[in-house]
Amino acid sequence: MTKKVHIPVQLIIEHGAIPNLPQTPVFDWLKGKKVLMVSGSGQTRKVTGRVETVISGHAATVQVLACQSNSLDTINELERHVLEDPPEMMIGIGGGKALDVSKVVGTRSNVPVILFPTAISSDAICSPVAVIKMLNKSTSIGVKMPQAVIIDLDILSSCPHRLMSAGIGDLLSNKTALFDWNLAHQAGKEEMNTFANLMANNAVESFMNTLNQDELDRSRLMKVASESLIMSGIAMSIAGSSRPCSGSEHLVSHAMDYHCGAKALHGEQVAIGLLFSQYLQGQRERVEYLAPYYEKLGLPTHYEDLGYTREEMHRAIRMAPTMRNRYTIFNEMALSDEEIDRILDIVYPDEAKNRYRLTGSSVG
């Protein structure tokens, strides 16, 4: 028995990807088409303008709509617009929200979507999952994969360090997520897709191998991080769920969003949750092992650096298992309040504070 897997037809990650667009098959797709561009705010508008300049005169029409949020209202409004004047192709440009909104509207209105991520702050740059805001709470929903993903490394190089840290946090979390998936499989709770497992693991391993090379330039790091995050998205597409890239560490991040005010970026919170999950998973040595990577990459090592108090972090851990029906390490142990406190002291020692500087702005 074989399985049909959806992956993007075109994947372009290079310097000058936007000016070089006319040399790609993606440009041919746009010929004579009605194109709708959904643009993030802030600096992203400039990038949108550049893409618009490249394709206008080649596409039949190009319309640009700004997307400020990923709320259900924004999605409904955009969908109404699409139904009234249907485009033949949608282009999402931005760091996170514009990509999610494009994926959702493209899926609901059956219009193919091309994504131009301007930052790599999560694995949503190429995944069958989109995060939307409903009643002020973030919810993940299943969407179609984009038809193409185009990353211009010249654009990424000016992306704030904080966004890239978040993306790398989301990538490293494949490790704990895969551990949890194996646990769920062993407990007879979930099917295992070995191929998706392998791909999600290779994505993070290839990134870590690059980090271990002596000479590490930012451009190469960005390229490998982009590729690895895209591979993670494809692993999710193969698995048919976010399982290969989302385990107990994501439950902690979801609890921070739902119960503690959602004060930081998804990938930053996941990086913090990952340290706790690894401890629970009995990979204490792996926590030590990852520490140099956190240091090298400038990842957050203490929840206070993301603006969370001790009480909030305790609450996030306590509520994490209730966030969704997903079997993880949390199901294999009932943590008392005293135990949570004890582990918080070990995993987030005082020395881990103040290493992470919150630079840059929110995801556009």
Of the two residues 170 and 268, which places its CB atom closer to Zn ion in the complex?
170
Structure tokens at 160: 């704030």
For Zn ion, give the closer residue by CB, 170 or 312.
170
Closest CB to Zn ion among 100 and 170?
A: 170
Rounded CA separation 244/246 (Å): 6
Strands 129-134 and 137-142: antiparallel
Residue closer to Zn ion by CB (options 172, 280) is: 172
Of 170 and 257, nearer to Zn ion (C-beta) is 170
Euclidean distance between CA atoms 317 and 314, whole angstroms: 5
Closest CB to Zn ion among residues 96, 160:
96
Nearest CA-CA partner of 114 in 126, 132, 130? 126
> Least separation, in Å, of the C-beta of 34 and Zn ion?
33
Single out the segment in contact with Zn ion by CB under 5 A; choices: 2-10, 64-72, 133-141, 169-177: 169-177
Sequence-distant (6+) residues with CB within 8 A of 361 are 42, 160
Pinpoint the alpha helices (H) of 85-141: 97-109
Q: What is the dihedral of CA 287, 289, 292, 296, to 10 degrees?
A: -90
Which residues are within 8 A (CB) of 8 and not within 5 positions of it... i.e. 6 or more apart? 126, 145, 146, 147, 148, 149
Q: How far is the CB of 120 from Zn ion (least distance, A)?
A: 12
Q: Which stretch binds Zn ion (CB under 5 A): 4-12, 167-175, 281-289, 296-304?
A: 167-175
**Number of chain residues interacting with Zn ion (CB under 5 A):** 1
Quick check: 170 binds Zn ion (CB under 5 A)? yes
Residue with tokens 């508008």: 45
- CA 145 centroid distance within chain: 14
Which CB atom, from 35 or from 326, has the smaller least distance to Zn ion? 326
Candidates 12-20, 166-174, 182-190, 355-363: pick the segment binding Zn ion (CB under 5 A). Answer: 166-174
> Which residue's CB atom is positioned nearest to Zn ion?
170
Q: How far is the CB of 127 from Zn ion (least distance, A)?
A: 9
Q: What are phi and psi of 122, to 5 degrees?
A: -165, 175
- What is the nearest approach in angstroms of Zn ion to the Cβ of residue 352? 22
Tabulate helix, strand, coil % of the chain (nearest 5): 55, 15, 30
Smallest distance from Zn ion to CB 350, Å: 28
Contact region with Zn ion (CB under 5 A), list: 31-39, 141-149, 168-176, 181-189: 168-176
Smallest gap from Cβ 99 to Zn ion, in A, equals: 13
Residues in contact with Zn ion by the rule CB under 5 A: 170
